[in-house]
Amino acid sequence: MLFWGILFVVIGHCYQSQWFFFSAYAFHMPFFFFISGYLFKISEKAGGKASLIVKKIRKQLIPFLLINLSFGIITVIIGLFGIKLGGGLNFTNLFIEPFISNHQYTLNIASWFLVSLFLVNIIAQLINLKSSRKSKIIVFVILIPIALFLIQKGLNNYHDYRLTIVRTGFALLFFQVGVLFKEFKDTVTGFLKQPLTIALLWGAVIFLNNAFGNIQYAIVWGNIGNNIIIVPLITTFLIICISFAICYHISNIVKDNSFIIKIGQRSFFIMVLHLSAFFLVNVVFYWLGKVTIADLSTPYFAYKVNIYFPIYESLGILLPMLFAVVFLRVKEKLPIVRSLR
C-alpha cells in the first residue's frame, strides 16, 4: 500500500496519463492517512497514551523540524545563485508556518503531510479511548459530521491557522476509516478482492465523476474541487477500496525483497525528497541550456513534462531511495539520529 500511495504522490506532482488509473488528486493523500490508521495502535491506559504521544513527538515532530531546518538552509544557499524557492531562516518559517501552510520552502512543500500525520496521530490517540470494535465505530460515527463541517469550511480556501484545522479534519476522517478497515480486515478483504467487486466500485466512481463533476482536490490547501463535498469524499473512499484490493493482489505476487517492496519501505524519503529530485533534473536541463534560472524558481516546473515525465518520475523515486541507502548506512555514526530512534 505504501508503494501504491507514494507512486501516485510522485506522479501527481509531475504528470499522469489519463489512461493510468484515477487521478492522483482524487485519492493519494487520503490513502496515506488511511494506511496510517490501518497501522494505528490504541492504548487504553493514560500512561500508555502519554508514552505513545511522546514517541510520536520524538519520531515524527522532531525529525520534521530538522528536515524543515535542512530545507531552509538549502533554500538560502541556492538563493545565492538567484534561485528563489522560499523564504529565509527565521523563527516564523522554522516553527510557525509549518503548522499553517508549510509552504515556507518550496522543495519541502510535500512534508505538510508529516505535520498533519503527527497531529492526527495525537488526536486519534486521545479520542480512541477503547480498542474495542464498538468503541471504534462510535468514534467514527461522531467524527463524520465534525469532519464534514470542517471540510465544508475548506471551500473558503483559508491561508491561515484554519487551513491546518481543515486538513486535520479531512485527514482524521480517512485515518479512522483505516482504523475500521483493520478491525474488519478479513471480511473487507474477502469482499474487495473479488473482480466483480472491483468492477462495480470502478463503475461507481466513473458514474459519480460524470454525474456530479470534479472529484479531485488539493487538500494541501484544504481545497475540495466540488461544492457538493460529499461526492469527492465518497469517490475517494471507493478508490481507496479499489486500491486496497489492487495492493492485496500485488502483495500475493511480489516477493519480500522485490523492488516494489523496497519502494514502499522508503516511502518516507521519497515523500520528503522527490521534489528535490525534480529540481535536480531541472538543473541538468539548465546546464544543457534548455531552461533559465527563472524557470528553476518556478514551483513544480518541469521541462516539457509530457515528453520527459519518465525521467522526472523515475528519478523522483530512485534518487530519494539512493539517499535513503546512504543515510541508513551512516545513521549509527550520527549521534543526533541515534537520539531520535
pLDDT bracket for residue 260 (50, 70, 90): very high
DSSP bridge partners of 223: 218
The residue with greater pLDDT, 264 or 159, is 264
Q: Is 85 helix (H, G, I), strand (E, B) or coil?
A: coil
Q: How many domains in the chain?
A: 1
CA angle 191, 197, 201 (to 5 degrees): 120
Predicted pLDDT of residue 191: 93
* 268 within domain boundaries: yes
Question: What's the average model confidence in pLDDT over 190-195?
Answer: 92
Residue 53 has pLDDT above 60, yes or no: yes
User: Is residue 38 a part of any domain in this protein?
Assistant: no
- Give the tens place of pLDDT for each residue, 171-182: 999 999 999 999
Q: How far apart are CA 282 and CA 285, in angstroms?
A: 5
The CA angle 53-28-30, to the nearest 5 degrees, is: 45
Instruction: Assign 337 a pLDDT band (cuts: 50, 70, 90).
Output: low
Residue 293 in domain: yes
| Domain membership flag for residue 224 | no
- To the nearest whole number, what is the mean pLDDT of the chain? 91
pLDDT at position 336 is: 55
Residue 276 falls inside a structural domain:
yes
Distance CA 341, CA 16 (A): 36
Q: What is the mean pLDDT of residues 2-12?
A: 95
Mean pLDDT of 315-326: 94
Residue 81: inside a domain: no
Answer whether residue 70 shows pLDDT above 70.
yes
- 335 — pLDDT class (breaks 50, 70, 90): low
Mean pLDDT of the region 223-237:
86
Instruction: Give the domain range for residue 301.
Output: 260-338
pTM of the model: 0.91
Q: Is 93 part of any domain?
A: no
Sorting pLDDT into bands at 50, 70 and 90, what band is 159?
confident
